[in-house]
Amino acid sequence: MKVIRYTRIAFLLLLLCGNAKAQEYYFKISESDKEIVNTKVTRAVSIDRVEGDTIFAYANQKEFESLKALGYLPELLENPTQAVRNRGMATTVAQMGNWDLYPTYEVYRSMMKKFEQDYPGLCKLDSIGTTVQGRKLYVVKISDNVLANEAEPEFFYTSTMHGDETTGYVLMLRLIDYLLSNYGTDSRVADMVNNFAIYINPNANPDGTYYGGNHTVNNSRRYNGNSVDINRNFPDPRVGENPDGNSYQPETVAMMNYAASRSFVMSANFHGGIELANFPWDAWTTAGNAHADHSWFYTISRQYADFAQAASPSGYFTAQGNGVTQGGDWYVVSGSRQDYMTYHHNCREITLEISYTKNPASSSLPNYWDYNKEAMLSHIEWLYTGIQGIVTNSQHEPLSATITIANHDKDNSFVVTNPINGNYIRMIEPGIYNVTYSAAGYGSKTINNVVVQAGELLLKNVVLGGIANSYNVSGTIIDMFTDLPVANASVKIYSEENQFQTTSSASGQFLFGSVPAGIVKFEVNADDFFSAIYFENISSTSSPVVLKLIGKETISGNVFDVVPESPLVGVQVTVVGSNNSTTTNGDGYFLLDELSVGEVSLRFTKEGYFSEIVNITLPYPDPLLVYLAPSDPESFETIVPQGFTFTGGDWVRDNSTAFDGVYSMKSAPISHSQTTAMQLTLDIVSDSEISFAYRVSSENRYDHLRFYVDGNEKGKWSGAVGWTEVSFPVTAGSHTFKWEYS
């Protein structure tokens, strides 16, 4: 029997779609040299997983080009989220009752609010920020006195920072429901809720999860709304700030600010794509720099894997080292949340990969709950172990103290108290330790030969006394780029139990008297400058400090139509890599403020015009004048535009389906081992984008629609794919575009 197949292309805009969604590539390459993987490949793209010499990874357009510049020829793969289609969606909260559906975004919001409404004494809902596209980042706190800050350990579960890894999303919602609904009948749950503060964030990247719209998770993707991998965007203990070269994303900043406002002692973030527990460090291999608590991290990860394996069919949660790996031993990553929480917040975080299928069929979600329920609960119960207590001064007031293990701690592995109540927890492998307690302005205290038993809690309340020496602290506030003094800056410093405030003089100088020795925090604010925070160690040998501020800049200008030279209204002007944007008014005028001194890229987009990216250095003295040229979008609504050629049969206009309008192009019919193509050559006047929508209905993995620019493959799609819009960058000059179905 002869099998005839078709595909369709619709040109919503052929050149420059200002609102086009950025491409996300999924591919594999081969690399046998682990050192190259850990130093070059991991910095170029977002590695998904490594299997032997094969690396599976994601990339946006810039990352994809960076990888090719290293000499690799990536093999494009079908995005994993396209492999499964039977994902049911709940359109009401009631439909989530069996936990075998995914919630729409609206249902997710309603569920989170309903948890708080139904259990006001146990559950508090917080919105900790908004995403690039304006969706909410929700966290619930579950505790017996939920509105109080009690002296109890704070635990944090979060999921789906990769938006297409959705198994944990639903499991977190179900865990919230389980803890709340079983509090009155299950003594185990009651003990946890009574003794801990449990925080749960079901979805850390809803823009990625609902990339196809608030009503579906079928077209979810890994990256956020700015095409950035959030799990490569956190400050890194090895690389430092902005390890991926991107500005901190709204989702990243929200998590950083929330972590700074809490005192989390243990946490885990849920992922998919493989099945294992991954523990710190991601930034180093074990041989290169093992965490001080490497053995303890292995123990808790091993327990999670063991419980998951015991509750599941053979083969589940057995990847890498039978379900457990140190992050860098698998592959090195910079900017992970796990390392950020562990290093910068003295927390203990691991990464839990709980399903090979990233975005599985909704009917399978109850199975994953069964596999992971005991493991998730037991993981929280590690808070019943270790050295715990409260650190106070002689007046019984809680202290912000540091707890250090002699000849053990390194790389910020020490723990700190919750400054509100002075409570702490130091989970550690069984052994005998010398433990030192210290706080700014107080004498330290060391307790020797502290014996830690496996699975047991050891209570150690500590009182620190003896005010340490105090000193005068002086310094100068200057502009980071000009070195000129900043006058009238507000300078606050914080030390234990003390806060000091003053204002810088005309020469930028300030002076504080009688500041207790130790680490103090400087907080500096000044008009027309960004706020800054510094930490300094105050002692008898301290020199005057120099605190630098970054000035705020503005840029303004006008945008014109190149012919005729008339103002353009409604042009979107965006600072590349940020959410800072505006639109031009009726005079073509725009103004952007809150910009940092230095190089900045501005993108100018308007439907029907070629986009422009303008690179400038701030401060920029003169108004910026930008000219946009009208684009000539191709459409199939009336005719097949001039210039299109066909091979392997003629493609035809078809009105049975379209992405926008009435008509699309339908490929010529083909059978086995045949190929048909449509081609167009254009002269592009400036750097721009090509954008089109496609629909494919073919035999999955065998028949493909491929898109080429000048003979170089840019995209490949197969299977049942509904109308999807894509865009690719195009440089100025003559280019040949080809759509091939084979």
* Most confident listed range (235-244, 425-434, 513-522): 425-434
Residue 2 lies in a domain: no
Same domain, residue pair 175 and 276: yes
Q: How much is the pLDDT for 506? A: 83
> What is the DSSP pairing of strand 264-271 with strand 705-709?
unpaired
| Cis preceding linkage at 366, omega within 30 | no
Same domain, residue pair 431 and 475: no
> What is the DSSP pairing of strand 423-426 with strand 386-393?
antiparallel
**Structure confidence by residue, pLDDT tens digits, 1-16:** 233 344 555 443 333 3
Same domain, residue pair 118 and 152: yes
Same domain, residue pair 54 and 168: no
User: What average pLDDT does the segment 451-480 reach?
Assistant: 87
> What is the DSSP pairing of strand 274-279 with strand 324-326?
parallel
Other C-beta atoms closer than 10 Å to the C-beta of 666 total 20
198 sits in which H/E element: strand 197-201
- Decide which of 521, 549, 577 is a domain's last residue: 549
Residues identified as active-site:
353
Is pTM beyond 0.95? Reply is no
User: What average pLDDT does the segment 346-363 reach?
Assistant: 96
Residue type at 616 in one-letter notation: I
Residue 441 lies in a domain: yes
> What is the DSSP pairing of strand 154-159 with strand 197-201?
parallel
Choose among 459, 452, 528: nearest CA to 488: 528
CATH number of domain containing 45: 3.30.70
Low-confidence winner among 59-63, 466-470, 532-536, 618-622 (lowest mean pLDDT)? 466-470
CA distances from 261 to 136, 139, 160, 256, 358 (A): 18, 13, 22, 9, 31
Same domain, residue pair 227 and 367: yes
Q: How many independent structural domains does the chain possess?
A: 6
Strands (E) in 439-497, as ranges, are 445-452, 457-459, 462-464, 470-479, 490-495
Return d(Cα 312, Cα 368) in angstroms, integer: 8
Same domain, residue pair 614 and 724: no
Identify whether the C-beta of residue 656 lies closer than 8 Å to the C-beta of residue 599. Answer: no
Residue 84 lies in a domain: no
CATH number of domain containing 307: 3.40.630.10
CATH number of domain containing 695: 2.60.120.200
Range of the domain at 421: 386-464
Same domain, residue pair 53 and 11: no
**Structure confidence by residue, pLDDT tens digits, 199-250:** 999 999 999 999 999 999 998 999 999 999 999 999 999 989 999 999 999 9
Which residues lie across from 617 on neighbouring strands?
599
Residue type at 458 in one-letter notation: L
Same domain, residue pair 242 and 209: yes
Residue 543 lies in a domain: yes
Residue type at 719 in one-letter notation: G
Would the pLDDT of 74 be above 50? yes
Radius of gyration for the chain, computed over Cα atoms and rounded to the nearest angstrom: 29
Return d(Cα 45, Cα 232) in angstroms, integer: 10
Same domain, residue pair 371 and 311: yes
Q: How much is the pLDDT for 610? A: 74
Residue 333 lies in a domain: yes
- Decide which of 424, 439, 464 is a domain's last residue: 464
